[in-house]
Amino acid sequence: MATLYEKIGGEPAIRIAVEKFYDRVLADNTVNHFFIETNMDKQRDHQTKFLSYALGGPNQYGGTSMEKAHEGMNIQPEHFQAIAHHLQQTLEELNVADEDIAIVMEKIGGLAPHIIEK
């Protein structure tokens, strides 16, 4: 059985999805302030590796923990939901199957406790 990584089209497709995703995020004034001082080329590469690994691809992700990466950012539930919504819209735009989107969103939702500021 193919992994989500393979079904979606591997790293090239994930790279495209990440580009489109960040276009949406950076256009959204409710969340784009989180990326003001971010090197977006590095962020896109990092996110591509993370998503590839999270969807069953090769583990090239060597980033810090979710808690550490988002520490002190004061990310609230509405910010997390906005980001998740942009990801879902991106996957829909790229014609990813609904059942695969549901799996991705479930995985992303599981990260909320590690990202949202307590």
Say if residues 67 and 84 touch (Cβ distance below 8 Å): no
Pairwise CA distance, residues 12 & 16, whole Å: 6
Does 70 show up as a binding residue in the annotation? yes
Left, alpha or beta for 117 (phi > 0: left; psi -120 to 50: alpha)?
beta
Query: Which 8-state DSSP code applies to residue 32?
Result: G
Cβ contact 90:22 at 8 Å: no
86 is in an annotated binding site: no
Q: For residues 105 and 83, is the Cβ–Cβ distance under 8 A?
A: no
Q: List the binding residues.
A: 46, 70
Q: List the binding residues for heme.
A: 46, 70
